[in-house]
Structure 1
Amino acid sequence: MRRLPITPPPAGERRTPVRAVVALGSNLGDRAQIIADARDALVKLPLTTDVVMAEPIESVALTLDGLDETKPPYLNTVALLTTTLAPSMLLAHLHGIEREHGRERTERWGDRTLDLDLIAYGRVQSDDPHLLLPHPRAADRDFVLAPWLTLDGDAELVGYGRVADLLAALRAQA
């Protein structure tokens, strides 16, 4: 797989704009307001335009042990954006937005005020442990695929296939 640039391009060189997919989730606090504020923060990202977000959906909390109905439910959605930020820089901005909204990384897959995952960055694939692209579990998550499909009926998850087909297969297993 391709390693991703961590630094900006050399002076005078411009990156080609890329369509990125960001998943948003919240299960603590005023979830709807947190998601709306995160959308506003995405709109303000440098070198980023055309931010659109699907209507949020509610889902059961997913933990390391599977679905857990005893945990607060999540509000999830997906945003599409066009950016010339390098994927690693975009991810750093996403982590910053999480911190601004009180995200604490104390428990893997634990409750959180805000979770922002970089699902896809154009057609880039990466096995860098700090930035796996596409997101390794996106193809298995209805709460990512369903909102994404509402924004882009022709969406494709690189290396996995059409989002519509992935979603249909997930729902057939349920």
Structure 2
Amino acid sequence: MSISTTYPLYAIAIGSNRRGRHGHPRAEVRAAIAALPNVLAVSRLIETAPVGPSLRRFTNAAVLLHSSETPPMMLARLKRIERDFGRRRGQRWSARVIDLDIVLWSGGAWRDATLCIPHIAFRTRNFVLHPLVQIAPRWRDPQTGRTIRQLAMRLDMVDRTRIRS
């Protein structure tokens, strides 16, 4: 697959742990991927434990897409898709039909009142890093300079250390 450098690339993390109009969470994630424009690569879907108070397991994935949209425009597009899927604002980390987050942008870092790229917590989340390793292992975090593969390996080492202690 050749990746166009004409437009910026975005790495988008996707998650669901609640049935919606498309069915079970796996179907919701697949439908969200189909709703995204100009998708260049899609990770495998993985099942993960919830973060926070939710009791339901998540289905997670990541995609790479290219778009001429600015980061705020891309965020607005993702929020529209979430609303179309029935997502409502509510308790942080609660069950959700779909969650779409901009993790990385080929333009580097972006920060304004509503958006922070790279995603502020992506370096600490295996459910984001593991799918990203499948589709963008050499993409470098603009803040640390580490590749996605390096970030995932470091987090895996930390997790193994916690399990042993």
What TM-score bracket applies, with the shorter chain setting the length? 0.7 to 0.9
Aligned-pair CA distance for 1:50: 4.0
In the alignment, structure 1 residue 165 sits paired with structure 2 residue 155: no
Give secondary structure in 1 for the equivalent of 2:51.
strand
Task: Give the alignment of 1:10-89 within 5 angstroms.
Answer: 17-29=7-19, 30-43=24-37, 49-63=38-52, 71-89=55-73
Q: What runs of 5+ residues in structure 1 fail to find an aligned partner?
A: 1-15, 44-48
Structure having the larger proportion of residues in strand:
1
Q: Answer yes or no: is 1:118 the counterpart of 2:108.
A: no
> What percent identity do the matched residue pairs reach?
28
Instruction: Give per-residue Cα distances to partners, 1:83-112, cap 9 Å, x unaligned.
Output: 111110110000011111111111112110
- Please report how far the alpha carbon of residue 19 of structure 1 lies from its aligned counterpart in structure 2 after TM superposition: 0.8
> Matched residues in 1 for 2:83 and 2:140: separation?
30
User: CA 1:124 to 1:113, structure 2 compared with 1: closer, same or farther past 3 Å?
Assistant: same
Runs of 4+ in structure 1 over 3 Å off? none
Contact kept in structure 2, 1:139 and 1:157, CA below 8 Å = no
Cα distance between partner residues in 2 of 1:26 and 1:146 = 16
Q: Which runs of 5+ in 2 are unaligned?
A: 1-5, 160-165
Q: In proportion to residue count, which structure has more helix?
A: 2
Would you say the 8 A contact 2:136–2:148 is kept in 1? Answer: no
Query: Normalising by the residue count of structure 1, what TM-score does the alignment of the two structures yield?
Result: 0.81
Which deviates further from its counterpart, 151-160 or 32-41?
Answer: 151-160
Alignment length (residue pairs): 149
Contact 1:42 1:51 in 2 (8 A): no
Greater shift in the superposed pair: 33-42 or 158-167: 158-167
- Equivalent residues of 2:137, 2:147 under 8 A apart: no
Give the TM-score of the pair, scaled to structure 2: 0.85
